[in-house]
Structure 1
């Protein structure tokens, strides 16, 4: 068994300039924990694989293609491959999001 605590995973530099920590990276899936401070956002980007977002804490605005919605804790959002998407924290509190990419992107260019 392998266990990983978010606080023990190091945040890696990324094009978005946010706290993004890789928790698992296999050929079948990639799991990333993102923390958005108030006012922070991801740049709109495209991933070559399907993405599932699960909001762990707080609230954020998720944009997928032309759709835009506020999503709070305990909400799951599906984002299809090759559709521009991003998250924005317009609140006054921290927003934490679990990102699951399937299949993994071992050979693809990573954006996070």
Structure 2
């Protein structure tokens, strides 16, 4: 059986973010995040690797005090347990797919 999810029907993340869980399994989870201008996801580390794929807008990704600007259609991998944060410094909304690899 094919199971699909839409932004409107996907479950929300259990945080104070505009995030939707588009897919989840024991090996991988894909979350769609929307960050408004000025919105920040504070520095944190996770026990899994993460791929960020930017759909729209621009985001500053900081990993262990090194920053890079993410632009549309770019992907970036962050290793397990590395401190990461996302900041929308632009005046436009940004949308990013976050793929967690367990």
TM-score by length of 1: 0.85
1:23 aligns with 2:29: no
Aligned to 2:12: 11
5+ residue gaps, structure 1: 104-112
| Partner Cα separation in structure 1 for residue 24 and residue 4 of structure 2 | 13
TM-score by length of 2: 0.93
Aligned to 2:72: 73
Shift of 1:3: 0.9
Asked if the contact 1:24–1:32 (Cα under 8 Å) also holds between the matched residues in 2, the reply is yes
Shift of 1:38: 0.5
| Partner Cα separation in structure 2 for residue 84 and residue 49 of structure 1 | 11
Structure 2 residue matching 1:2: 3-state secondary structure:
coil
Aligned to 2:40: 41
Shift of 1:8: 2.1
| Partner Cα separation in structure 2 for residue 99 and residue 57 of structure 1 | 13
Alpha-carbon displacement from aligned partner over 1:30-80 (angstroms, at most 9, x marks no partner) = 111110000101011111011000001110100011210111110100000
Instruction: Report the count of equivalent residues.
Output: 101
| Partner Cα separation in structure 2 for residue 61 and residue 67 of structure 1 | 10
Shift of 1:11: 2.6
Asked if the contact 1:46–1:85 (Cα under 8 Å) also holds between the matched residues in 2, the reply is yes
